[in-house]
Structure 1
Amino acid sequence: MEQQNKRILTLDVIKGISVIGMIIIHTLLVYANVKSQYETAIGSFIVFLGRGTSIFLICMGITFMTSSQQSLKSALKRGILLVLAGLFMNFMKFMIPVFFGFAPDNFIQKYGWNAPIEQQYVYLVLLGDILQLAGMSLLFVGFIREYVKNKYIILAIGLFAALVSREVSGINIDYPVINYILDLLFNNDYPAYVYFPVFPWISFIIIGMFFGKWFQELNYDSKKLFRNMLYVGLVFAAIGAPLVFFYSEYNYNGFYHMGPGGVVYFAGWTLIFLWIIYNITAKSKENKVIKVLKYCSKNLTSMYMVQWILISWGKGIFGYRQHEIGYVSVLIVLYIILTFSVQTLVDIIRKKKTLIDFRPISPDKSVLKQ
């Protein structure tokens, strides 16, 4: 089977949409006042879209299983690089404005800190975001892909990770470096706040891996795969709903640190949503919109970093959480344009670097050895 047949247009489209969506969501969260975020139709809808992290993670799990890079070494290497990329992004987001004096006062004041300023800076740099989640998760799921060959065992591991998530939350010991790793895994709020701890969020990636394995067993039949997603999604949503709505304190307790019921419930609706999007895109032909979304999907990590850095820097110009929805809408358009512009510049730099690396160094020798 040709490699291109293993790619699913629906996943590229969804990951591409997620790039545009995260620019919209992050711009709103940074610049809109509380009223605009929660008391306007547009703001409330955008905040709702911000609950779509599980969609991206399940897609990540599927593509991880069908990627051309299947070695354990490549997964571990990429995991470490993503964690470092997350720390670098935090440094650029928070420390550059501080060093150059354009960080807004009300941003720092919102935390109500009494700690020394150096400790506050460490807190900001160590904040746990989606890149740290993806990186830490790869250090685990690489072993699952390498050694677990039965798709139902893969699914069982994913559900088990969700099941124990509330029980392991808060594990820590009094060693800062080790505690930071425990933060990323279990979220104990020391020494940093982690929005997406590995437990329970790794469950969505592993559920995606289950479907990636199933996709392989179906000989890369997308129609059958998404039909199966619908069936599993309906079961998950039916199981998760009563747990979330009747036992919410344990099974939900907030979006970022949900319990097992929340994971199953969100996974169910995510799978149903993926089936819907597949049926919309299944017969789509290549057009400019699809090309743009595929471009975003291909450059998802770098565009994620670029948009967050640009939006964070802009706080020094436009202020922090001060504006009405109309003003924020203009900023959303601005940041979409800026993100694509900077990514284009990054592409040009990469291309020039590639040309230099492959440039002949003599008539009979080149940098690229045969």
Structure 2
Amino acid sequence: MKTFFAQQEVNTGRQIELDLLKSFTIICCLIGAHICDEFIFDFDNSLVWTQSYVFGRVLGAPIFMFSMGFTMMYTTHHTAGDMFWRAIKLLTFGQTLNIFRYAIPYYLGAQLDPAYYNPQQVLNFSSDILQLAGLAFIVMAITRALKLSTALTLLIAIGMSLLGTFLTGVETNNYMVNQALGLLWPTHTESYYPLFNWFIFIAGGQWMGSIYRHINNKKAFFSIAIPIGIFTISAYFYLQLYTSQTYLGALGDNLSRYCWLHLGEALFIMSFIPMLIGISYLITTYIQHHLSEEVITHLQFPSCHINKYYSVSWGVITIGSTMFNLHNTSDYMVTWMVCTLITSMIVMVYVRHFEEWVDDFVGRYDWIFIMTVFAITLYMAYYAYATCEVMPNFLNNYLDNIKL
């Protein structure tokens, strides 16, 4: 172990291997999985199934959140105040995405078909991954204010995971209140990423990030981490695909089993994330030795702008699948490449020509923007609840089984 670690911190700069893994996550996992879901591909196709279940579920959101916790140990804005302000911005950003992704399209659709589109507007208040990230930053701000260690924070996260499982389904008779509770623990709403069940990935990433800063021999460290990860990921897939166990659920057809994952499955997944970082390290090392640094810079770009990729890709996918009705497209790979290319072009143009101006404008009126976003959210929620009786969620397939 002494050959792996140093008493002093030796990895204090930007870790390129983590950037490469984050870029892979947003491009190949999250965008790919959303395309599979929204374009309604045939899940009997092995490629589509692998993309949606393996890359989208097992690797996508867990790596996204683990990486967020990991990079908390490398950011220069690490005070409790910094993290709380970041939480506000993430929650606002996530809710802005929901407004453009759900509220506005379904509000306009309700003018033509109110019976179908009015219920869909409650999705504007759904618990997506950006809401999880914002709430996680609030918890991290509290732990920083209390000066808790990364190990103690991880223990608290384990307790939160157990509590989330215990509280699953504990809710009121009010759907709107249940949506708010669904941000914390699983309720029968759009409770995709409840904080209690998923915070362990952020805390685990932060804990590993604190250790990673002391690793002075990455090659030796990953020579052990990669074989261990191969064993655990093999066991993970074997148990789900070839046994009758019911505890692990990411590869099953019941979406709630994945979204409301238990502590054991979270620990299982985290056990092979170091292997993925190790593979990314080997790829990064090869590129640095055999290709130019410019290649690394291009590969880091999605990681540096990961939230922009996430939000813009949703816009591209929504327009393609809903407004142009491109469902059941025959070729998944072509659809994925086209959507990713369009997303990348939009993000690059925005970063190059508009980001500085937008940041300056929003920075001057940030609280006005924040209050406006949440005022629209509350209004749309009230409007939706007042105009429908049956609320959609992923447990009833968003009313797809109801003839409206």
Candidates 271, 278, 291, aligned match of 1:275: 278
CA contact (8 A) 1:103 1:316 kept: no
C-alpha distance 353-124 of structure 1, shift in aligned 2 (>3 A): closer
Tell which deviates more after alignment, 258-267 or 269-278.
Answer: 269-278
Does 2:340 align with 1:336?
yes
**1:338: how far off?**
1.6
**Residue matched to 2:70:** 62
* TM-score between both structures, scaled by the size of structure 1: 0.78
**Residue matched to 2:34:** 26
Does 2:209 align with 1:212?
yes
**1:282: how far off?**
3.1
Secondary structure of the structure 1 residue equivalent to 2:81: helix
Structure 2 matches for 1:1-370, cutoff 5 A?
A: 5-21=12-28, 22-33=30-41, 35=42, 38-47=43-52, 48-51=54-57, 52=59, 53-101=61-109, 118-121=118-121, 123-173=122-172, 178-189=177-188, 192-216=189-213, 218=214, 222-223=218-219, 226=222, 248-250=245-247, 252=249, 254-285=257-288, 286-319=292-325, 321-324=327-330, 326=331, 328-347=332-351, 348-352=353-357
C-alpha distance 59-154 of structure 1, shift in aligned 2 (>3 A): same
| Counterpart residue identity of residue 18, structure 2 | L
Q: Deviations over 1:61-82 (max 9, x none)?
A: 1101221111111111111221
CA contact (8 A) 1:104 1:320 kept: no
C-alpha distance 208-220 of structure 1, shift in aligned 2 (>3 A): farther
Q: Unmatched 5+ residue regions in structure 2?
A: 1-7, 250-255, 363-404
* TM-score between both structures, scaled by the size of structure 2: 0.72
Alpha-carbon distance between aligned partners in 2 of 1:247 and 1:39, rounded to the nearest angstrom:
20
CA contact (8 A) 2:107 2:118 kept: no
Size of the aligned set, in residue pairs, is: 340
**1:27: how far off?**
1.7
CA contact (8 A) 1:61 1:206 kept: yes
**Residue matched to 2:375:** none
Q: Unmatched 5+ residue regions in structure 1?
A: 109-113, 358-370
CA contact (8 A) 1:158 1:206 kept: yes
**1:136: how far off?**
1.1
Secondary structure of the structure 2 residue equivalent to 1:282: helix
Q: Deviations over 1:92-119 (max 9, x none)?
A: 11233335559998xx9xxxxx7x8544
CA contact (8 A) 1:234 1:268 kept: no
Runs (4+) of structure 1 exceeding 6 A deviation are 1-4, 102-105, 234-247, 354-357
Alpha-carbon distance between aligned partners in 2 of 1:5 and 1:59, rounded to the nearest angstrom:
16
C-alpha distance 247-46 of structure 1, shift in aligned 2 (>3 A): closer
Secondary structure of the structure 1 residue equivalent to 2:73: helix
**1:155: how far off?**
3.2
**Residue matched to 2:391:** none
C-alpha distance 180-232 of structure 1, shift in aligned 2 (>3 A): farther
Tell which deviates more after alignment, 157-166 or 60-69.
Answer: 157-166
| Counterpart residue identity of residue 7, structure 1 | R
C-alpha distance 350-135 of structure 1, shift in aligned 2 (>3 A): same
CA contact (8 A) 1:24 1:46 kept: yes
